[in-house]
Amino acid sequence: MVSNVLEVDQDDLVKQLKTFKKKYAEDAEYKKLRATLPKDWPF
């Protein structure tokens, strides 16, 4: 699991991902990378 590789608690990882979503929502590179994930991926 990603949280294990990054050595962070799963709850902390979820918080970080939600922060990235808000912070980079209008960033072109973020949008491009996000588009490669399944639409039902939760973040």
pLDDT in tens, 17-35: 889 889 999 999 999 998 9
**Count of CA atoms in the C-beta half-sphere (13 A) of 41:** 12
Percent residues over pLDDT 70 in the chain: 93
pTM higher than 0.85: no
Given this model, what pLDDT does residue 2 score?
Answer: 78
Band the pLDDT of 43: cuts 50, 70, 90.
low
> Measuring CA to CA, how many Å separate 30 from each of 11, 12, 23?
22, 20, 10
Better pLDDT: 42 or 28: 28
pLDDT of residue 5: 81
Structure tokens at 36: 């490669």
Delimit the domains of the chain by residue range. 2-35
